[in-house]
Structure 1
Amino acid sequence: MMAHVLAFASPLQGHLSPMLKLAEALAIEGLLVTFLTTEHVYHKLGGADAPLCRRRQGLRLRSVPDGLPADHPRLAGHLWEIMQSLRDTSGEKYRELLVPLGKEEPDGWPPVTCTIVDALLSFAAEELGIPVMAFRAGSPCSFWAYFFVPKLIEQGEIPFPEGCDMDELVRGVPGMEGLLRRRDLPGFCRAKDANDPIIQATMLTTQWNPRARGLIFNSVEPMDAAVLAHIRTICPVTYTVGPLHNLVRALDPAHIATAGLWRENQTCLAWLDAQPSKSVVFVSFGSLAVLSRAQLLEFWHGLLNTRHRFLWVIRPDLLDETGGPGDLPFELTQEAKEKGCLVVEWAPQQAVLAHPAVGAFLTHSGWNSTLESIGAGVPMVCWPLFFDQTLNSRYVSEVWRAGVDMKDTCDRATVEKMVRAVMEGEAAAELRRNAAALAEMVRSCVGEGGSSRVGLEKLVQAIRAMSSGE
């Protein structure tokens, strides 16, 4: 039977983007792929006639309801509400798409023979006997730490004791004993109660992964070799196929980047064209981070005090109050005109990071942003907030040594100090050399015979074997 993969993605920008890239990579390799997401995201991408589907033969979009009203904002502050509603309402439609073997769909596509499910969607594990693989949109190091949350709770390391030393090492995660401090664990570990719903949901979404037919990471084998060796002790069939945006471009040099949930403002590229090489600090805190006005102003003053040029992405929902960039104090906006460029809504991040004018990336350390910065050879100033970000930032600074970690602080003096550390002097030059070496490693891994290319080939072979009943 012809292999037909149904890829079920979470409706979050950071999960949607790599899963779309994985769907494209599988389609390029000759598989039929149905990309499944919520009705809201489906329409944002263009529906059945989406440009992506017109460009990529063998790839189509389908949707399930998320159970929320049409006027629901679906913004950063509603993450858990969105995921809970999706879990409660999408199951029936999801099962309808898993056509029983032996029946064709009305448009002539064969039945689904394999599913690849976002690891957050534990409710969409194996249905109707159809094999399921788990896709982790986050980093391998975060998965490994998440997997040991039950053990950390059992040992009394979580929740953290009142008034504890946040720099004390955590010893319950094999292979990370001398690396992880309390402050490097995900933000939910700071909850006062082990029964916190986010802790419980995270354990649920992690513990089912070893039961899947395979575990797929948007990662680079040599970069994460040590932690992947640990992961394979519980998930022997683990594939590394990243960075997926680099891999798809290597497979198809004519590839056009897929639009996401935010409308990209391309005008910043012309501004970058007018700036000197390596002179600009790119600032973006991803699709979910929310800043207080006080935090935003500390970043603002810190950036201005460095006297370096900066390009700052300010989403409409970046502030935790009503209002947007137009509400910034007048004197700051006037001063920024000389050195800065503000992007309202979203920037074409991959193009920005690849631009020769960009010298550093002030980032929330989401895994996509981390991989995009590594692929472009741009050193990072990491200001993580939650989930895998706090682990990613620790690895950036202490394992890959391609940036500095600024977690848990954002006063203007620290912002200025950290930006200068990646933009000025010999220490910055060393970070740039390390970042350039990582970028070269990425190019090798996604190229012909590289580990990510081989990982994709093995994944395709496994899907075809499952589809033929082997």
Structure 2
Amino acid sequence: MDQENLPPHVIIFPLPLQGPVNSMFKLAELLCLSGFHITFIVTEYIYKRLIQFTNIHSRFDQYEGFQIKTISDGLPEDHPHSGDQFMQLFDALRSKTKPLFKEMLTCGDLRHVTCIIADGIMGFTCDVANDVGIPIVYVRTVSSCCLWVFFCLPKLIESGELPFHDDDFDKLVKSVPGTEDFLRCRDLPSFCRLGDISNIYVQLYKTEGQEIARAFGLILNTFEELEGPMLDQIRSVCPNLYPIGPLHAHLKTRLGAEVGSSSEQTSSNSLWEEDKSCITWLDEQSPRSVIYVSFGSIATVTKEQLLEFWHGLVNSGVMFLWVMRPDSVAGKDWEENVPEEIKEGTKKRGYIVGWAPQEQVLAHQAVGGFWTHNGWNSTLESVYEGVPMICWPYFLDQQVNSRFVEAFWKLGLDMKDTCDRVIVEKLVRELMEVRKEEFLKRADDMAKLAKGCLSEGGSSYESLKRLVKDIESMAVKDELERPLV
């Protein structure tokens, strides 16, 4: 194929964490299905885990023009890459990965790049894009409701609502337009509790609005019917939005259309080895009888928290499937301190795995509830499958998401700032028994909207079509402006 007739070539550069990498691989495949050539950039640490636990290469081999390039994240090889050390990762990306990224774009190894799609929290990618003259579209893989809170941080500081002046965390927040009647101090991102507006997290996120406005547009993993009011608020700062989520389902829908039938779970972007024996266990359970418990790929709990959760689950009498990562509990000797009564209770009605194929689990007819940390991918997957939630957020955007789940979307119960076996038992029963039909009906209604937005003419379907058209227009414009050789 002549160079002039090649399709658009897009660089995709996710934030190197499980959630963003997962969702941006879905975006990459959607753009591959649109005929684009994709260069997907991951850090060496992420790449090693991908090739260890996934079929990433064989899966993308079918797409002409797809390639993965690795880049250093600037951290030592023995660095744990854990969530509580996020700022170390971010600082290393900004100081050490930035020049490597520029070198990658200018060394001549890549064919001409039409545009860059990068995580909006990595502002250095926009600096590089501007330096080399390539258009950039940002992606934010957090919820729009949390992103809007980030945009409002300067207003929260200016109004005096940050830092907090007392310990009344149930006080309503007034400086986040559209949320005045339900968003409380305890629902703001976790770093807002630190009491210091010079904190590195506050300083990082308070410039989100200005940073994102630098890009050509903003891709969001959400849909209008779920987050329309927050999307309208964000458009006041960044008018060119592409809400194309839920990305995991959008991809499965398009793949299903390609083969003429619904697409099954055939691949994974997980950085952990999935234990699929849990699906066999679920097959043996009654419909909507199991609560699925997973706090994601980063959250850690103390031994004391673990035992409170465990007692509450067993005492609820509800069947449960629990993801307990090898590194999810702080300390080394916790297994020796598990009381016999909860071990016996787990044998009767529980199943524990190190990691699960989550999309497949949430789609299973036996699952009637999801106890989640409310990472945005997990929240969207639950919404799409019509599974009500118990929310126990760990950090950052998850505090905001959990409040929206309970107070705005009415899809579950928010248990933030609580770790007590009696409350766990009560909320599990409330979700799975007492108010089961109410929550299932509400979740089913939202799931129908999520599925509708992906069909032809639906809001996310049309946003993706517009994104593809805009990138194609960039390619045409670039071709016209490129000097003749």
How would you bin the TM-score normalised by the shorter chain?
over 0.9
Map of 1:85 onto structure 2: 92
Say whether residues 1:27 and 2:32 are aligned partners: yes
Which stretch shows the higher mean deviation, 316-325 or 23-32?
A: 316-325
8 Å CA contact 1:116, 1:134 repeated in 2: yes
- 1:456 counterpart (455, 460, 464): 464
Map of 1:244 onto structure 2: 247
Cα deviation, residue 35, structure 1:
0.9
Map of 2:222 onto structure 1: 219
8 Å CA contact 1:114, 1:131 repeated in 2: yes
Map of 1:150 onto structure 2: 154
Cα deviation, residue 3, structure 1:
1.2
Superposition pairs for residues 190-229 of structure 1, below 5 Å?
A: 190-229=193-232
SS in 2 for 1:84: helix
Map of 2:374 onto structure 1: 365
SS in 1 for 2:86: helix
Using structure 1 for the length normalisation, give the TM-score.
Answer: 0.94
Task: Note the alpha carbon deviations across 1:223-261, whole angstroms, 9 max, x for none.
Answer: 111111111111110011000000000100247333321
8 Å CA contact 2:187, 2:403 repeated in 1: yes
Map of 2:455 onto structure 1: 447
Cα deviation, residue 175, structure 1:
1.2
2-structure distance, mates of 1:412, 1:233:
44
C-alpha RMSD of the superposition: 1.8
Q: Which amino acid aligns with 1:122?
A: G
- 2:430 counterpart (421, 429, 432): 421
Which stretch shows the higher mean deviation, 298-307 or 65-74?
A: 65-74
Q: Which amino acid aligns with 2:71?
A: V
Which stretch shows the higher mean deviation, 181-190 or 318-327?
A: 318-327
- 1:284 counterpart (291, 294, 300): 294
8 Å CA contact 2:151, 2:207 repeated in 1: no
2-structure distance, mates of 1:336, 1:272:
15
Map of 1:139 onto structure 2: 143
8 Å CA contact 2:50, 2:56 repeated in 1: no
Say whether residues 1:262 and 2:272 are aligned partners: yes
- 2:177 counterpart (174, 178, 187): 174
8 Å CA contact 2:56, 2:269 repeated in 1: no
- 1:67 counterpart (71, 74, 78): 74
Which stretch shows the higher mean deviation, 368-377 or 41-50?
A: 41-50
1-structure distance, mates of 2:336, 2:21:
30
2-structure distance, mates of 1:323, 1:235:
50
8 Å CA contact 2:150, 2:208 repeated in 1: no
SS in 2 for 1:234: coil
* CA 1:206–1:410: 2 relative to 1, 3 Å: farther
Cα deviation, residue 372, structure 1:
0.3
Map of 1:234 onto structure 2: 237
8 Å CA contact 1:99, 1:112 repeated in 2: no
2-structure distance, mates of 1:325, 1:242:
39
1-structure distance, mates of 2:318, 2:187:
29
8 Å CA contact 1:35, 1:61 repeated in 2: yes
Same amino acid, percent of matched pairs:
43
Q: Which amino acid aligns with 1:121?
A: M
Map of 2:326 onto structure 1: 316
SS in 2 for 1:401: coil
Map of 1:119 onto structure 2: 120
Say whether residues 1:15 and 2:20 are aligned partners: yes
8 Å CA contact 1:314, 1:325 repeated in 2: no
Cα deviation, residue 144, structure 1:
0.5
Map of 1:376 onto structure 2: 385
SS in 1 for 2:225: coil
2-structure distance, mates of 1:156, 1:395:
24
* CA 1:72–1:257: 2 relative to 1, 3 Å: same
1-structure distance, mates of 2:336, 2:276:
19
Superposition pairs for residues 274-423 of structure 1, below 5 Å?
A: 274-323=284-333, 328-344=338-354, 346-423=355-432
Cα deviation, residue 326, structure 1:
6.6
Cα deviation, residue 83, structure 1:
2.2
Structure 2: any 5+ residue segments left out of the alignment? Answer: 257-262, 479-485
SS in 1 for 2:224: coil
Aligned positions, number: 461
2-structure distance, mates of 1:262, 1:234:
37
Task: Note the alpha carbon deviations across 1:136-187, whole angstroms, 9 max, x for none.
Answer: 1000010111101011111111111133x11111110111111211111111
Q: Which amino acid aligns with 2:284?
A: A
- 1:465 counterpart (457, 469, 473): 473
Map of 2:443 onto structure 1: 435
Map of 2:260 onto structure 1: none
8 Å CA contact 1:292, 1:319 repeated in 2: yes
8 Å CA contact 1:8, 1:118 repeated in 2: yes
Using structure 2 for the length normalisation, give the TM-score.
Answer: 0.91
Q: Which amino acid aligns with 2:456?
A: E
8 Å CA contact 2:191, 2:396 repeated in 1: yes
Cα deviation, residue 467, structure 1:
2.1
1-structure distance, mates of 2:47, 2:269:
12
Cα deviation, residue 317, structure 1:
1.4
2-structure distance, mates of 1:343, 1:175:
40
Cα deviation, residue 466, structure 1:
1.5
Cα deviation, residue 275, structure 1:
0.9
Show structure 1 runs of 4+ deviating over 6 A.
none
